[in-house]
């Protein structure tokens, strides 16, 4: 059975996105990037750009699911609120496309990719290269995070069905 997922590490300065597919037990990274917005743009423009790009990816790749990292509140409440707004825009785009959304905590993602819920970003990135063929040079953690969310979803989907 074939399954394709659009995985997202939500953000408004940089939003990591990845499209992964599992077919015949083999997981493949089809696409990944960081959607980047300009700090000189208004928040509304940045939010709109991220939502438009996610909508474009849903149309282009036709995934069966959208997987997103659940928001982890850090000490900067303004940033957390804005990321929550980005998540809301992405949920809206997924709903319009009739694509179910699955959410995973940072601990679930770390555990699924490294076997430890306490792994650091470098450990996750290293394990991702062992788990899935990544043929491009990835510049930002946000992109690795999106790939890790996708791997997590495919592992979870394998368990349930």
Residues annotated as catalytic are 9, 69, 142
Place of tokens 């909508």: 55
Contacts of 39 (CB under 8 A, 6+ apart): 13
d(C-alpha 19, C-alpha 10), whole Å: 14
Give the SS3 label for residue 86: helix
What is the DSSP code (8-state) at residue 70?
Answer: P
């Amino acid at each position: 059975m074939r399954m394709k997922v659009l995985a997202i590490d939500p953000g408004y300065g940089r939003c990591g996105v990845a499209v992964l597919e599992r077919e015949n037990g083999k997981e493949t990274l089809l696409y990944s990037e960081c959607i980047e917005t300009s700090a000189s743009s208004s928040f509304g423009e940045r939010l709109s750009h991220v939502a438009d790009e996610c909508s474009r990816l849903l149309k282009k790749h036709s995934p069966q699911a959208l997987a997103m990292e659940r928001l982890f509140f850090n000490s900067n409440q303004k940033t957390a609120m804005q990321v929550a707004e980005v998540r809301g825009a992405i949920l809206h785009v997924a709903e319009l496309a009739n694509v179910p959304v699955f959410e995973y905590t940072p601990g679930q993602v770390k555990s699924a990719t490294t076997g430890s819920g306490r792994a650091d970003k470098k450990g996750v990135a290293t394990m991702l290269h062992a788990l899935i063929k990544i043929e491009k040079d990835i510049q930002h953690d946000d992109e690795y995070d999106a790939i890790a969310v996708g791997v997590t979803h495919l592992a979870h989907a394998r368990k349930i069905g």
